[in-house]
Amino acid sequence: MNEQDLRRLMTVSVEDVLPSRPATAGWERARRTRRTRRAVAAAALAVALVGGGTVAALRSSADPPPVIPVAPTVEPTHSGPVQRPPDDLTYLPDPLNRLGSPATVPLSERPVQRARALFQPVDEENRANGPVRVLGDDGVVRSLDVVTLAPTRDASGNEALAVKPGVLSPDGRSAAFAQNDELIMVDLTTAAVQRIPLEGYLELVVWAHDRVLVGGDDRTYAVDRVTGVADKIDVSAWVVAAPDPEAGREAALIEMIGERDALKLRSRTAREADIRSEQPVTRGALPSPYAINEFYGRGWLHGERLASAAWITSSEIDGAEGVAVLDARTGAVSHLLDLGRDRGKGCCEVLGWDNKGSVLLRLEPAALARWNPETGEITGIVRDLRGAIALAG
């Protein structure tokens, strides 16, 4: 192959490269490889290997090494705005698969460098059944033996598990648990426990960069994660979305409020929680009659996207289960996972995003599943696991 052929082949390869889209580049993109691009990429690699000496000979020794473009191995598949899960999920290998394994060592004996997840097993009556499990990034499951957690309670006496989505810090190094009249913080890297007295029925925790937001029906505190200093903040722990850990400490707090035509995204300043703006939630790209009726569970920000479970109006019923992805700046819905009518109410809470732009959620019978809104691909992670799960960011 002469130099002219080499340049022509490289030109084809460069023109075929799509702009980088980290948020949509899922780890399953190899399944969607186009044969023509694979052939070009393979040819380009062969030319680079075989002709490398020729290119080097033509280049002055003072020139910098050439940057050889490589064609992408896949073309992202952009699915429509409304998507549905398959009848049967495919379960792929994943570090979170070990979430269902029993603990083999106490946290006090072997702290983690970073936790991937917490899991609280429950019995048939949804009560805690054994210690909280801590899955480390080394694949070892530990038992949380340094603290005994009580159920959270509200003023009416309703109880809930202390382990909820959001209690594990995005970096996986700490956990924070709401308890009546206190916040318990555990350093998972040392097994040290800090108890911070706070007044009131406290039920929910949201990690917001260098602070922990903890609250209940009538109050929310912002607690400094280092000093433990707590101040009240005018934001609801029930409706505030978990901030993107990459967004910085001054990133706005986004609340998801209202229902149906009054559904809004309210933006507040990070420190003082002053209202900055309110955007109505709109159908965006959704076809009629699809619409969001009401959000439930924790919302999660990932860049400019917001994911949350919701009750929806679908093509079949008003009140179906769904998961929505919105533009957090405009309130427009970009993608909707229609989960249908034959599921338990509040079945499918969102648990966060992964680092490749997929939404992590409960999707019965899977205890944990992954949905890529851009490609529409849905896969299972953990099967039939009864209990509460909290994931690191």
Residue 326 vs residue 156, higher pLDDT: 326
Residues above pLDDT 70, as percent of the chain: 80
Q: Is pLDDT at 292 greater than 50 in this prediction?
A: yes
- Please tell me the distance from the alpha carbon of residue 287 to that of residue 67, in angstroms, as a whole number: 45
Total number of residues shown for the chain = 393
Average of per-residue pLDDT across 192-214: 95
What's the pLDDT score for residue 197? 96
With bands split at pLDDT 50, 70 and 90, how would you rate the model's confidence at 79? low
What's the pLDDT score for residue 367? 85
Could you read off the pLDDT of 61-71 as tens digits, one per residue?
Answer: 334 433 333 32
Q: Is pLDDT at 239 greater than 60 in this prediction?
A: yes
Average of per-residue pLDDT across 154-169: 93
With bands split at pLDDT 50, 70 and 90, how would you rate the model's confidence at 80? confident
Which of these, 204, 200, 151, lies nearest to 178 by C-alpha position?
204
Q: Is pLDDT at 56 greater than 60 in this prediction?
A: no
Residues above pLDDT 90, as percent of the chain: 68
Q: Are 274 and 327 in contact (CB under 8 A)?
A: no
- Please tell me the distance from the alpha carbon of residue 387 to that of residue 42, in angstroms, as a whole number: 47
Residue 69 vs residue 209, higher pLDDT: 209
* Separation in Å, CA 100 to CA 113, 171, 224, 267, 367: 20, 21, 33, 38, 10
Could you read off the pLDDT of 248-286 as tens digits, one per residue?
Answer: 888 999 999 999 999 999 999 999 999 999 999 999 989
What's the pLDDT score for residue 217? 82
How much is the mean pLDDT over the chain? Answer: 83
Q: Are 205 and 242 in contact (CB under 8 A)?
A: no
Its pTM stands at 0.78
Comparing 33-42, 245-254, 379-388, which segment has the lowest mean pLDDT?
33-42
- What is the b/e burial string over 26-61, where b = at least 16 CB atoms within 10 angstroms of the residue's CB? bebbeeeeeeebeebbeebeebbeebeeeeeeeeee
Q: Is pLDDT at 117 greater than 90 in this prediction?
A: yes
What's the pLDDT score for residue 78? 52
- For the record, the structure tokens of 341 come out as 């009518």
What's the pLDDT score for residue 34? 31
Alpha helices in the chain (DSSP H): 3-15, 35-50, 52-58
Q: What is the Cα 69 distance to its own chain's centre?
A: 32
With bands split at pLDDT 50, 70 and 90, how would you rate the model's confidence at 55? very low
What's the pLDDT score for residue 299? 97
CB atoms < 10 A from the CB of 113, how many?
11
Give the highest mean pLDDT range of 7-16, 72-81, 286-295.
286-295
